[in-house]
Amino acid sequence: MFTAGEIIKQEYSKIIMSKYPEYRASWPIISGFNLMNGEYGNYIICIFKYTGNNSIRTSTVVTFSVENTGVSTITSSNLDSVRDTVFSSFHLSPMDSVVIISKDGSNLQSELQKLLETHELVMGVKKMKIFLSHKGIDKPLIRQYKQTLDVLGFDVWLDEDAMPAGTPLHRGILEGFKDSCAAIFFITPNYKDEGFLDTEINYAITEKMEKCDRFSIITLVFTESDGKIGEVPELLKQYVWKQPCNDLEALQEIIKALPVKVGEVCYR
């Protein structure tokens, strides 16, 4: 009888070999791991410590508790928070993996899908751009935000950089949204809900519906020196918007709202 770790490895290998066979020598879990696992209530927690060496593998039984999971009971609704706590408690790296499956195996496929999405980002085969939606007249302001986000390590989509001359606008914008994990709408008094701006809002809403928590719609309302305030387009009013007092506060709101985060602090 196969163990939970063996089943996860076998089923996940099938997925990776069908989608990314060229990465099999370096893909997390597939290319080698040490296993730490244990039961906690009705669930089995498997920690795959990346080694990149398939010839040597160890397996260790771990005692899970409130202290290293953050909860007294694991449920289908807190799996992600438990996963985050386990990552922190065991000081895991991005190449390591945590899979939490119910003892009846009913959530195996959803866990494998989440594992795949995480590793696609870690391996760099799935893009996580940040789309900057704005009125052309505000380009100087937007360039400053792009430069700051670039310095912080984010991959920013800005039309003048992302679309070469001759690119069909609708196609270029659509591809930009599909490659993005967030759209930031800079609502200045110049921003009007018309033309391509209206299209961008619709694209963002579509991405939000498809990607759910993996896509953020971030709306920032700006006030000009003469007191004029940007007006939030009707389609964006269903989402929370912020009215920062300055650029630093706006940047803080952006970072808090993004579904992704910058890496651990370390020396250059």
Helices marked H in the chain — which ranges?
4-19, 66-69, 79-89, 108-122, 139-151, 159-162, 169-178, 195-211, 247-257
Domain segments of the chain as ranges: 4-122, 129-257
Estimate the crossing angle of helix 139-151 against helix 247-257, to 10 degrees.
Answer: 60
pLDDT above 70 coverage of the chain, percent:
92
Distances (CA, A) of 19 to 32, 112, 137, 249: 18, 13, 43, 41
With cut-offs at 50, 70 and 90, classify the pLDDT of residue 267: low
* Check whether domain 129-257 has CATH 3.40.50.10140, yes or no: yes
Closest by alpha carbon to 104, among 56, 44, 175, 48?
A: 44
Are the C-beta atoms of residues 138 and 188 closer than 8 Å to each other?
yes
pTM, to two decimals:
0.62
Q: What does DSSP assign to residue 193? A: S
Q: What is the mean pLDDT of residues 252-257?
A: 94
Torsion of CA 7, 9, 13, 15, to 10 degrees: 60
Q: What is the pLDDT of residues 192-218, one digit of tens each?
A: 756 667 888 999 999 999 888 889 999
Closest by alpha carbon to 44, among 16, 78, 5, 71?
A: 5
| Residue 193 or residue 259, greater confidence | 259
- Which residues share a beta bridge with 35? 48, 59
Q: What is the pLDDT of residue 162?
A: 67
**Pairwise CA distance, residues 219 & 250, whole Å:** 10
Q: What is the mean pLDDT of the chain?
A: 89
- Which residues share a beta bridge with 36? 47, 60
**What are the DSSP calls for 100-162, one per residue?**
EEETT-TTHHHHHHHHHHHHHHHTT-S--EEEEE--GGGHHHHHHHHHHHHHTT-EEE-HHHH
| Residue 160 or residue 168, greater confidence | 160
Is residue 231 helix, strand or coil?
coil
Q: What is the pLDDT of residues 225-236, one digit of tens each?
A: 888 999 999 889
Question: What φ, ψ does residue 77 adopt, rounded to 5°?
Answer: -90, -10
With cut-offs at 50, 70 and 90, classify the pLDDT of residue 184: very high
Q: What is the mean pLDDT of residues 219-230?
A: 92
Q: What is the pLDDT of residue 20?
A: 93
